[in-house]
Amino acid sequence: MDLESELRNAMAEQVAGTSASPSLVTDVKRRHRRRRARMHAAAGAAAVSVAALALVPTYQSFRAAPAGNSETARPTATVPASRPPERPPAAGLPASPPSEGRPEAGASSKPEAHPSSGGGTDSRKPGVDDVVGKLPGWISYIPDGLAATGPCRTAHDAGRETTTCAWRGKTGWVEIALVKGGKLTGPRDLMGTPGVPGHTSVRGIPALTGDRPDSARQISWLARPGVGVTVTAKGSAKEQLMRIAEGVRP
């Protein structure tokens, strides 16, 4: 007996007692179907990928270019069709100046600004149409129609410094006196009217009011220690006495 026969006998003895399971054929068929399904799925995915790659160049060629694209919107000419290009001047002749009203290259087309004739913004405050130009910095309101009689006057008397500014017009007048002195104790020291004064306030500061014999009315108060103010008005300006006083801030 040769070696091949001995091997066959040995193999036959090993499997002599074994038998195939009843579901062996079913299992083999199921595994075969699963293998075929996986192969088909893989082939389908590969086909879809190839088709997608093939469609990309086609899509790029048919895609519309956006407006303003530098590849499509390019200038076609540098000279307008309505005007032919200018010819260079002949030799020996000076170049003609640019025609009036036609802007040259690089020239600004903005119109020149001309000052307006009237109606401009007036930076002056009300009631300052006078020889001194502007109101003092510590006075912010004077009624319309009044003009300054001149620059403010300053006088010294009995240890006090009094600065007086006056405005006059056809309908009345206003006079503001700023008094500085260490001996001022209250608005009563500033009043120059007879009779019993009335009580009021200017920006919350106690003040006194009174009528003068010449039909003028005045109001006095201490703006701060050692600084007092008296505002006197007559005529139509008397109706705005409190507004004038509120605008005095020394």
Place of tokens 């009631």: 127
Boundary-marking domain end, from 18, 42, 63:
63
Give me the mean pLDDT over the 73-100 stretch. 50
Q: Which residue has the higher pLDDT, 112 or 242?
A: 242
Q: Which residue has the higher pLDDT, 248 or 5?
A: 248
Residue 199 forms part of a structural domain: yes
Q: What is the pLDDT of residues 219-238, one digit of tens each?
A: 999 999 999 999 999 999 99
Dihedral pair phi/psi, residue 54, rounded to 5°: -75, -25
Q: Based on the structure, what is the number of domains in the chain?
A: 2
Q: What is the largest CA-CA distance in the chain?
A: 165
Query: Are the C-beta atoms of residues 127 and 144 closer than 8 Å to each other?
Result: yes
Boundary-marking domain end, from 63, 87, 114:
63
CA dist 225 to 108, 112, 205, 209, 212, Å? 62, 56, 12, 19, 26
Which residues make Cβ contacts (< 8 Å) with residue 29, sequence separation at least 6? Answer: none
Residue 175 forms part of a structural domain: yes
Residue 218 forms part of a structural domain: yes
Rounded Cα gap, residues 169 and 148, in angstroms = 9
What confidence score (pLDDT) does residue 173 get? 97
Residue 74 forms part of a structural domain: no
pLDDT confidence tier of residue 207, bands split at 50, 70 and 90:
very high
- Segments forming the whole domain that contains residue 37: 30-63
207 beta partners: 200, 221
- The encoded tokens of residue 204 equal 């919350």
Query: Are the C-beta atoms of residues 56 and 63 closer than 8 Å to each other?
Result: no
Residue 34 three-state SS: helix
Q: What is the pLDDT of residues 105-130, one digit of tens each?
A: 444 444 454 444 444 444 444 433 43
Residue 176 forms part of a structural domain: yes
CA dist 60 to 47, 53, 63, 67, Å? 21, 12, 5, 16
Q: How many Cα neighbours within 13 Å face the side chain of 58?
A: 5
The model's pTM? 0.48
- Alpha-carbon radius of gyration of the chain: 54
Residue 58 forms part of a structural domain: yes
Residue 34 forms part of a structural domain: yes
- Look at residues 149, 180, 186 and name the one whose alpha carbon lies nearest to residue 165: 149
Residue 122 three-state SS: coil
Boundary-marking domain end, from 44, 63, 82:
63
Residue 13 forms part of a structural domain: no
Q: Which amino acid is at 88?
A: P
